[in-house]
């Protein structure tokens, strides 16, 4: 589904990603872990086409197409979804309105008709239950005055409604208490099937107890320094990133000197 | 006074060089303003003698006045002698049905999407269409007449209800009120007149479409709405104008009078030609709108969506005279390209326990300059007056400007006046968030702007709210990206 080859990315002229290779197949869940500043969020932003990231080398194919040929909104309509680390507030625009606009723009792109108001409301009511939100949330302005946990749950509600093929969760667990974490994980897991892939970007192993990954990759200094299965996450929890980061730093220094 | 009937014929008979954008035979006075022109207009409309006298007083007062310069707008000087003050589509007197109306005129309305015909019956809206200066057709007069509502052109009202016009005209906006109001009082050509009798709730929304079509013909509309005791009326005003290269002056006056327990809701969607990207052309909109809550517990509510005009100078105001009366002002003003808007309101608290609300949303894009200017005044006899003002500005891009000038004058210690103001920008984060959800950049901007204007849009009648949103989308085209 997603194939990243030798990806190099600069931000303001500073190299952040320095040669990432990653392949994600349909049905898989990949966790990307790593310390602060390792490039995890940069990877999420490049995949979704945010401005300010300059790809200097490498390529990404998504469902056998050149990802960079697609605009941000085209990627979204083709099934790439990012659950934001910091969901954005939009005053005066109701959650319901955004959800409907988003779903219909996707349906239109896929050649499906727009949902009628009745069909849409029926769908939404189902999804709201999934993330255990009150229906009144739908009528509040997007993320305005929401607590941190509510914002994250709202991201998962959008995820559930849009049913993406490739979901990227960017630090969705940060700031969540254990109950909210379970709700979020439940929402994500209910989407898991053979058609879809999920990339979980996180600092901590905790979320991975609930969303169990098939693969774990450790990112440090802009490179994948280690890949493994879910056991790798547990190992990291025990020993920390320090050792891995140091060895990758030496590697970088060596290659720079060569 | 010699009645210059011959002069008039001579003046009117002259060839109009430029012709019309819509090719309709028109009677147009040549450019210039003097007492004879004022007399000619009054004569042309067969007005009662008091009206001519009233116009002449206004004209003489206007001569002593100077154009105001305090507004935050810039434009080259207007040559008032280069403007033609009267233009009427030529027609056989009094068309009785649509068949009698000039088909070219109807075609123009079609193009503007104004359903003058029977569709309006379904929508339940009566339209008094003002094309240039003379009312062409008034619909639904009968339904309204059954309710005792008078809805006609002000020219007709002068013929059929001169006592009502005489009693109320100029009672809220006196002839000498300001430069443009004085000019309007001297030369107004036509406009709408509404009278709602005691205890009547007007059975439909009343609406007027204005259109400036004749080249170099300033429009001087005069609207007078009287809501008698315990009555209610909702009036909609919508405007569009075709492309043109020369600036056009528009100086309308609207007067509202609400007697005891009466309510007037006045909604405007204004979309006159704003000029091109470089600021060429476009309408100068210098309007005086004011309502008087004359009776106890009366209420006047202004809602406006201003997206057009090169320059907007407009302060719909309420005089809160009656005890317990309520004034409201809800406004969205958008400036794009080189547009300039200096708009706001005046709430004058005179009676006891009066309340006013001001919600102003300014949107600036391109090189647009948007100014909110508002006055809240509480007189010494106005015990327990309350005001709440909220002025929000939204900036798109970094070449536009937003300015806020709130004036507050309080002469009574029991008054409670609140003012809140915010300025914000559409952020890259907001745009990226929406686009990541599959919305195009334009849809995202439109959605964010509409969200910003929500508190005002919900005050508009349903069909107007939809129109207003579309208008914002069109007006913002090219503002982003």
pLDDT computed for residue B20 by the predictor: 32
Interface contact A101, partner B, CB < 8 A: yes
pLDDT tens, position by position, B312-322:
899 999 999 99
pLDDT computed for residue B100 by the predictor: 57
**Residue to test with chain A: of B437, B445, B456, B480, most A Cβ within 10 A:** B437
Give the pairing of strands A65-66 and A14-24.
Answer: unpaired
Query: How far is the CA of A244 from the CAs of A109, A233, B45, in angstroms?
Result: 43, 13, 92
Find the residue in B nearest to A140 (Cα): B451
Q: Which of B441, B443, B448 sits opposite A90 (nearest CB)?
A: B448
Q: What is the mean pLDDT of residues B303-315?
A: 88
pLDDT computed for residue A215 by the predictor: 96
**Do the Cβ atoms of B433 and A162 come within 8 Å?**
no
Q: Which residues are paired to B341 by β-bridges?
A: B312, B370
Q: What is the mean pLDDT of residues A23-50?
A: 94
3-class SS of residue B298:
coil
Q: In chain B, how many domains are there?
A: 1
Better-scored residue on pLDDT, B440 or B76: B440
**Separation of alpha carbons B224 and B169, rounded Å:** 7
Q: pLDDT tier at B92 (50, 70, 90 boundaries)?
A: very low
Mean pLDDT of the residues in chain B: 81
Q: How many CB pairs under 8 A join A and B?
A: 71
Lowest mean pLDDT among A99-103, B109-113, B427-431: B109-113
Give the pairing of strands A223-228 and A215-220.
Answer: antiparallel
Look at residue B400 and tell me if it is in a domain. yes
Q: pLDDT tier at B90 (50, 70, 90 boundaries)?
A: low
Q: How far does CA A32 lie from the centroid of its chain?
A: 10
Q: Highest mean pLDDT range out of A9-13, B72-76, B88-92, B104-108? A: A9-13
pLDDT computed for residue A8 by the predictor: 97
**Complex confidence, ipTM:** 0.93
Give chain B's count of helices (H) and strands (E).
Answer: 13, 23
Interface contact B454, partner A, CB < 8 A: yes
Please say whether the beta carbons of A172 and A158 come within 8 A. Answer: no
Q: pLDDT tier at B97 (50, 70, 90 boundaries)?
A: low
What CATH number does the domain containing A81 carry? 3.40.50.300
**Do the Cβ atoms of A82 and B436 come within 8 Å?**
yes
pLDDT computed for residue B244 by the predictor: 53
**Separation of alpha carbons B254 and B107, rounded Å:** 28
Q: In chain A, how many domains are there?
A: 1
Look at residue B481 and tell me if it is in a domain. no
Q: Which domain holds residue B41?
A: 4-476
pLDDT computed for residue B12 by the predictor: 36
Look at residue B130 and tell me if it is in a domain. yes
Q: Is the pLDDT of residue B101 over 60?
A: no
- Name every chain B residue with its beta carbon within 8 A of the beta carbon of A140: none
pLDDT tens, position by position, B222-278:
999 999 999 999 998 876 555 454 557 889 999 999 999 999 999 988 777 777 777
pLDDT computed for residue B206 by the predictor: 84
Better-scored residue on pLDDT, B468 or B11: B468
Q: Which domain holds residue A164?
A: 2-254
Please say whether the beta carbons of B356 and B390 come within 8 A. Answer: no
In B114-264, which ranges are continuous DSSP H helix? 119-123, 141-146, 154-160, 162-168, 179-187
Please say whether the beta carbons of A187 and A149 come within 8 A. Answer: no
Look at residue B182 and tell me if it is in a domain. yes
Look at residue B222 and tell me if it is in a domain. yes
pLDDT tens, position by position, B1-60:
333 334 433 333 333 222 234 545 556 778 889 999 999 999 988 999 999 999 999 999
**Do the Cβ atoms of A102 and B439 come within 8 Å?**
yes
pLDDT computed for residue A186 by the predictor: 94
Interface contact A87, partner B, CB < 8 A: yes
Q: Is the pLDDT of residue A55 over 70?
A: yes
CA R_g for chain B: 22
pLDDT computed for residue B86 by the predictor: 79
pLDDT computed for residue A257 by the predictor: 34
Residue of A189, A230, A183, A210 whose CA lies nearest to A33: A230
């Amino acid at each position: 589904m997603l194939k990243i080859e030798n990806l190099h990315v600069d931000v303001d002229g500073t190299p952040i990603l320095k040669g990432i290779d990653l392949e994600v197949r349909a049905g898989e869940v990949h966790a990307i872990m790593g310390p602060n500043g390792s490039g995890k969020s940069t990877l999420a932003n490049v995949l979704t086409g945010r401005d300010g990231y300059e790809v200097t080398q490498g390529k990404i194919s998504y469902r056998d197409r050149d990802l960079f040929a697609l605009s941000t909104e085209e990627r979204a309509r083709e099934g790439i979804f990012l659950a934001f680390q910091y969901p954005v507030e939009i005053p005066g625009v109701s959650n319901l309105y955004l959800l409907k606009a988003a779903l219909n723009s996707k349906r239109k792109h896929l050649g499906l008709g727009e949902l009628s108001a009745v069909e849409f409301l029926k769908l939404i009511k189902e999804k709201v239950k999934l993330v255990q939100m009150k229906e009144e949330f739908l009528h509040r302005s997007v993320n305005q005055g929401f607590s941190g946990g509510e914002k994250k749950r709202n991201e998962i509600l959008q995820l559930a409604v849009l049913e993406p093929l490739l979901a990227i969760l960017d630090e969705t667990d940060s700031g969540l208490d254990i109950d909210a974490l379970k709700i979020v994980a439940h929402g994500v897991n209910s989407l898991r099937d053979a058609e879809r892939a999920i990339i979980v970007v996180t600092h901590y192993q905790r979320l991975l107890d609930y969303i169990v990954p098939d693969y774990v990759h450790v990112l440090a200094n802009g490179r994948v320094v280690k890949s493994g299965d879910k056991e790798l996450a547990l190992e990291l929890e025990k020993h920390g990133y320090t050792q891995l980061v140091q060895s990758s730093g030496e590697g970088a220094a060596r290659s720079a000197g060569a | 006074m010699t009645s210059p009937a011959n002069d008039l014929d001579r003046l009117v008979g002259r060839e109009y060089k430029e012709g019309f954008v819509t090719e309709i035979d028109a009677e147009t006075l040549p450019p210039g303003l003097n007492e004879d022109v004022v007399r000619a207009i009054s004569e042309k409309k067969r007005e009662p003698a008091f009206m001519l006298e009233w116009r002449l007083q206004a004209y003489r007062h206007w001569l002593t006045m100077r154009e105001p310069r305090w507004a935050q707008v810039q434009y080259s000087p207007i040559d008032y002698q280069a403007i033609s003050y009267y233009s009427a589509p030529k027609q056989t007197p009094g068309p009785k049905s649509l068949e009698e109306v000039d088909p070219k005129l109807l075609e123009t309305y079609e193009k503007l999407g104004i359903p003058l015909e029977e569709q309006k019956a379904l929508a339940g809206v009566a339209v008094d269409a003002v094309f240039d200066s003379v009312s062409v057709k008034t619909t639904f007069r009968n339904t309204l007449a059954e309710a005792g509502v008078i809805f006609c052109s002000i020219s007709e009202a002068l013929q059929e209800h001169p006592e009502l016009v005489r009693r109320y005209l100029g009672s809220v906006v006196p002839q000498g009120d300001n430069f443009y109001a004085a000019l309007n009082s001297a030369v107004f050509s036509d406009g709408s007149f509404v009278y709602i009798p005691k205890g009547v709730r007007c059975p439909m929304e009343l609406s007027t479409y204005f259109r400036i079509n004749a080249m170099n013909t300033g429009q001087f509309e005069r609207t007078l709405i009287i809501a008698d005791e315990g009555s209610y009326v909702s009036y909609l005003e919508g405007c569009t104008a075709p492309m043109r290269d020369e600036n056009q002056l528009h100086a309308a006056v609207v007067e509202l009078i609400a007697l005891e327990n009466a309510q007037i809701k006045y909604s405007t969607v204004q979309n006159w030609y704003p000029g091109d990207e470089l600021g060429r052309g476009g309408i100068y909109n210098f309007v005086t709108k004011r309502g008087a809550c004359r009776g106890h517990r009366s209420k006047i509510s202004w809602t406006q969506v201003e997206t057009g005009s090169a320059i907007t100078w407009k302060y719909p105001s309420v005089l809160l005279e009656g005890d317990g009366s309520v004034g409201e002002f809800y406004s969205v003003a958008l400036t794009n390209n080189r547009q300039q808007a200096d708009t706001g309101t005046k709430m004058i608290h005179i009676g006891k326990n009066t309340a006013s609300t001001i919600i102003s949303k300014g949107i600036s894009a391109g090189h647009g300059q948007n100014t909110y200017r508002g006055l809240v005044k509480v007189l010494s006899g106005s015990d327990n007056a309350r005001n709440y003002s909220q002025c929000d500005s939204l900036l798109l891009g970094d070449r536009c400007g937003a300015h806020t000038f709130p004036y507050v004058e309080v002469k009574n210690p029991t008054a409670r006046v609140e003012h809140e103001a915010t300025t914000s920008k559409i952020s890259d984060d907001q745009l990226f968030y929406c686009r990541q959800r599959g919305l195009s950049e334009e849809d995202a901007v439109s959605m964010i702007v509409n969200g910003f204007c929500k508190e005002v849009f919900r005050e508009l009648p349903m069909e107007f709210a939809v129109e207003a949103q579309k208008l914002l989308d069109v007006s913002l085209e090219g503002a982003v990206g």
